[in-house]
Amino acid sequence: MSEVRIAAEPRTEFGKGAARRVRRAGKVPAVLYGHGTDPRHITLPGHELMLALKTPNVLLRVDGLTGSDNLALPKSVQRDPIKGFLEHVDLIVVKKGEKVNVEISVTLTGEIAPGGVLNQELVTVEVETEATHIPEGVEFDVEGLEVGAHVTAADLKLPRGTELATDPETIVLTIAPERSDAEVEALETEEADVAADVAEAVAKGESDESGESSSEESSSSSE
């Protein structure tokens, strides 16, 4: 479990204009709350925060604030939908020994048996674990799995102190038979036909709109 120290400054100005000024200064508006404490509005250094958030479920030690409840987990991260830069972060206060629910990644290792195709249905799984001992993820070895095999969340071996919160019956992966050359060709033909139908419908729609536009212009001229 990674713990990153990050310096915070109290935030006293609010609103869109104030938030834009904060971001122009290379910082990110944030709120720290939880455990019955009043929400604390702060700013965090943008570059350091961006690097820290590259680690899933990173534990942040927020320095520069009064009080001892400054150990926090990112609860909500808002990014610009186009440029991707950080716009706002909600942090929730946690304490050592406290249990939290988080999602961790599911990583597959090994090679399945010949003749099969691996379909991973679940890339993360929700678990309950100690806030200060969140595992970075869980691995599952698919070595030798044959066609027809399937793995559920209950089959994942979680670290000690971590319990499964996701429905145990949720499918993590399945092994399907490989498609024959004929099936692949038929699928490609079907996809090409669908693409052609879509292109034809789009072209027809544009043609109809053009015709309506010309008709309207002609009617307007006659008036």
Mean pLDDT across 185-210: 78
CA 142 to chain CA centroid, nearest Å: 24
What pTM was computed for the model?
0.66
Please give the angle made by the CA atoms of 26, 77 and 120, to the nearest 5 degrees. 130
Mean pLDDT across 166-171: 96
User: Do 67 and 27 touch, CB atoms closer than 8 A?
Assistant: no
Instruction: Tell me phi and psi for residue 196, to 5 degrees.
Output: -65, -40
Using DSSP, state whether 67 is helix, strand or coil.
Answer: coil
What are 90-110's pLDDT values in tens digits? 998 888 888 999 999 999 999
**Cα(114)–Cα(101) distance, integer angstroms:** 38
Quote the mean pLDDT of the chain.
85
Mean pLDDT across 175-183: 80
Q: How many helices (H) and strands (E) does the chain have?
A: 3, 14
Report strand pairing: 3-7 vs 59-63.
Answer: parallel
Determine which of 15-24, 35-44, 152-161, 211-220 has the lowest per-residue pLDDT on average. 211-220
Task: Please name the helix (run of DSSP H) or strand (run of DSSP E) that holds residue 179, with its range, or none.
Answer: none
Residue 3: pLDDT band with limits 50, 70, 90: confident
**Cα(136)–Cα(72) distance, integer angstroms:** 16
What are 41-70's pLDDT values in tens digits? 999 999 999 999 888 888 898 887 766 568
Residue 209: pLDDT band with limits 50, 70, 90: low
pLDDT value of position 208: 65
Going along the chain, which residue ranges are E strands? 3-7, 9-10, 27-34, 37-45, 59-63, 71-79, 86-93, 99-109, 116-120, 124-130, 137-141, 150-152, 163-164, 171-177
pLDDT value of position 23: 86
Residue 217: pLDDT band with limits 50, 70, 90: low
Higher pLDDT, 2 or 86: 86
